Every structure is written in structure tokens, then in C-alpha cells.
Amino acid sequence: MGTVAAIGEQVRVGGMSLVGVTVHAAEDPEEVRRAWQVLPEEATLVILTPAAAQALGAVALDSVRPLVVVMPP
């Protein structure tokens, strides 16, 4: 069974840890890219904030595995 991860600004993703999501707080594009690179193999769903999605671009949005979703603005 896979896990769920979230990448983005702390204020937007921090509370997700309360329901078992692995949170990678990233405040700038470089931190977002580092967080993406260290995602564990078992991460099957990644939730991105709009800013994180913009920082990753096609790398994440074209990903088949893990499944990637972007939070609404």
C-alpha cells in the first residue's frame, strides 16, 4: 500500500500531517525541487500547492507514478 505526500508552503500543507500525509514544507522553487527528488518510492499520491506545481512544471504534472494533484488556488 502506498503513502500520500504533500509538497508546498507550510501554511497550505502543514495540517495534512494530522491525517497521515507526509508533509514536505517548501517555501521556494529550489526547496520544492529538492522535496520532489527525495520522495520515497512508496509515495503513490503527491499533493502539490499551485506554487509547487509551477516550480516543478512538466516534471510532476506529466508524472504517471506517483499520481499528482494540484490544490486549488
Structure-block grid coordinates of residue 6: 504533500
Distance CA 24, CA 42 (A): 15
Structure-block grid coordinates of residue 17: 500531517
- To the nearest whole percent, how much of the chain has pLDDT over 90? 89
Rounded average pLDDT over 61-73: 92
Query: Which residues face 69 on adjacent strands?
Result: 47
What CATH number should be reported for the domain holding residue 39? Answer: 3.40.50.10580
Task: State pLDDT tens for residues 20-55.
Answer: 999 999 999 999 999 999 999 999 999 999 999 999
- To the nearest whole percent, how much of the chain has pLDDT over 70? 100
- Range of 52's domain? 3-70
The pLDDT confidence band at residue 16, using thresholds 50, 70 and 90, is very high
Count structural domains, the chain: 1
What's the pTM value of the predicted model, to 2 decimals? 0.94
Q: Do 4 and 21 form a contact (C-beta atoms < 8 A)? A: yes
Residue type, 64: V
Q: What is the pLDDT of residue 62?
A: 87
